[in-house]
A and B are shown apart, each in its own frame.
Chain A
């Protein structure tokens, strides 16, 4: 079936360095790619999303890039801070009506002091 692969599953970076999380998807018709941040015991919170008509989107320290030909997209966090520590999920829209969002398994990001 359609799926979203995410890696790495765990990532540790020094505070102030950059973090990159990568995802691939299988449905060539996918056109919406959100990223969610989830802290322990909390709800997923949207941090950025991108649609298929653009290749890159940036919001302060967070950026997402999309390569539709290769069917992969990435999250980039620059100048990481302790509060960036969380689990990050990528997702992609799929389905005949493009009405489902399928999530990756998540990346646990640790920011080291």
Chain B
């Protein structure tokens, strides 16, 4: 079946602009995660959704970052007033069951490469 998909694959924007990054999880997966990966680093946790609610948003770096998942499927990561330091690959992952369950294996999407000029 289809894996996790993310759009756009690449996004170039100017400093100060607003961007939205979209994630389509695997159908039926209840849990969704956002990560940020900088060059030469491991994925850095941003936020975890279980269903429609954000179960843990402690990884969001500041209030310019916000994410939603209104119907418990597709999620959008929103970044306001982008800064050059926001440049990274933004990865989305989903799992069938919640963290801590026997079905919590996370499957990653291809990522969105965000470049802030």
Contacts and interface: CB of A to CB of B under 8 A. Distances in A.
Contacts of B104: 32
B108 A102 contact: no
B91 A43 contact: yes
A25 interface: no
Nearest to A89: B42
Contacts of B59: 100
A68 to B, nearest CB: 17
How many residues of B sit at the interface, in one of the four size bands?
A: 20 to 34
A106 B56 contact: no
A44 B107 CA distance: 8
Nearest to A6: B42
Contacts of A49: 105
Contacts of A100: 45, 48, 56, 58-59, 99
A104 B44 CA distance: 9
Most chain B beta-carbon neighbours within 10 Å: one of A6, A93, A99, A104: A99
A97 B99 contact: yes
B110 interface: yes
Contacts of B110: 42-43
How many residues of A sit at the interface, in one of the four size bands?
A: 20 to 34
A103 interface: yes
B41 interface: yes
A100 B60 CA distance: 12
A99 B100 CA distance: 7
A9 to B, nearest CB: 9
Given A106-B40, A106-B41, A46 B56 contact: no
Most chain A beta-carbon neighbours within 10 Å: one of B40, B42, B98, B99: B42
Interface string A66-95: 000000000000000000000001010101
22 contacts: A6-B42, A32-B99, A34-B105, A43-B110, A43-B111, A44-B43, A44-B91, A45-B108, A49-B105, A93-B99, A95-B56, A97-B55, A97-B56, A99-B55, A99-B56, A100-B48, A100-B56, A100-B99, A101-B106, A104-B42, A106-B41, A106-B42
The 8 closest A-B pairs by CB, nearest first: A103-B42, A99-B99, A43-B108, A89-B42, A44-B108, A100-B45, A99-B56, A43-B110
